[in-house]
């Protein structure tokens, strides 16, 4: 991948995501940014690992928006729940969320949260991944049903929204980037934005 362009003039920052959770996290950095929704097919490829899938999709999202906005520094991110090498995406429905949580109860799941930053005008492109190990409690069917009715986390990979009631489903979270589980690893985001030439606190 191309190296950092060094200190460049101030460029617009664009978050290539439809996620309200990533938008909220970006707001914590207190830098101006815009949001553009990338149109990317998220279907896993045959034999693709959850880690590779998350990285590919994060890069694809950043590249799609960077082509539309060549002068901007674009952030793409994706998260895939990894259960023993099998990717678990967003459930979309109550029934699928129930099935996911039943499979994950009493187990450790790795949430692969990938990040990519790209600028078409400078040729800058870098990606990183923040794996988060999440151990679920041995949940009863009643606990799963109560949680899903209360939270409706059907747009979250693995059906567990840790920033809300989903935290009650868990035994432990292990990560070196605290916001990665919510969907955007901010330590790595700051690192890649600086590498792209942006000034951050």
Q: What is the pLDDT of residues 115-174, one digit of tens each?
A: 999 999 999 999 999 999 999 999 999 999 999 999 999 988 889 888 889 999 999 999
Classify residue 112: in a domain, yes or no: yes
**Residue 78 a catalytic site member:** yes
**Mean pLDDT on 35-64:** 95
Classify residue 6: in a domain, yes or no: no
Domain count for the chain: 1
Residue 3: predicted pLDDT: 36
Classify residue 161: in a domain, yes or no: yes
**Average pLDDT across the chain, whole number:** 93
Active-site pick, 39, 78, 176, 177: 78
Q: What CATH number has the domain bearing residue 86? A: 3.90.950.10
Classify residue 8: in a domain, yes or no: no
Classify residue 187: in a domain, yes or no: yes
Residue 201: predicted pLDDT: 75
**Mean pLDDT on 79-94:** 93
Classify residue 201: in a domain, yes or no: no
Evaluate if residue 6 carries a pLDDT over 70: no
201 alpha carbon, distance to own chain's centre: 23
Residue 157: predicted pLDDT: 85
Classify residue 5: in a domain, yes or no: no
Classify residue 200: in a domain, yes or no: no
Query: When comparing pLDDT for 90 and 96, which is higher?
Result: 96
Range of the domain at 76: 13-195
């Amino acid at each position: 991948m191309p190296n950092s362009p060094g200190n460049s003039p101030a460029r617009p920052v664009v978050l290539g995501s439809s996620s309200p959770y990533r938008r909220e996290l970006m707001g914590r950095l207190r830098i101006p940014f815009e949001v553009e929704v990338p149109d990317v097919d998220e279907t896993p490829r045959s034999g693709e690992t959850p880690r590779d899938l998350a990285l590919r999709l994060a890069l694809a999202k950043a590249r799609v928006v960077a082509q539309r906005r060549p002068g901007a520094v674009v952030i793409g991110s994706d998260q895939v729940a990894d259960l023993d090498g099998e990717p678990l995406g967003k459930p979309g429905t109550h029934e699928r969320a129930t099935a996911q949580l039943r499979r994950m109860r009493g187990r450790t799941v790795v949430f692969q949260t990938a990040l990519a930053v790209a600028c078409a005008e400078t040729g800058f492109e870098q990606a990183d991944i923040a794996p988060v190990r999440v151990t679920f409690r041995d949940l009863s069917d009643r606990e799963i049903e109560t949680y899903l009715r209360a939270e409706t986390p059907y747009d979250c990979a693995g059906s567990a929204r840790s920033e809300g009631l989903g935290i009650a489903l868990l035994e432990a979270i292990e990560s070196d980037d605290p916001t990665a589980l919510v969907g955007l690893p901010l330590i790595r985001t700051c690192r890649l934005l600086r590498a792209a030439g942006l000034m951050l606190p």
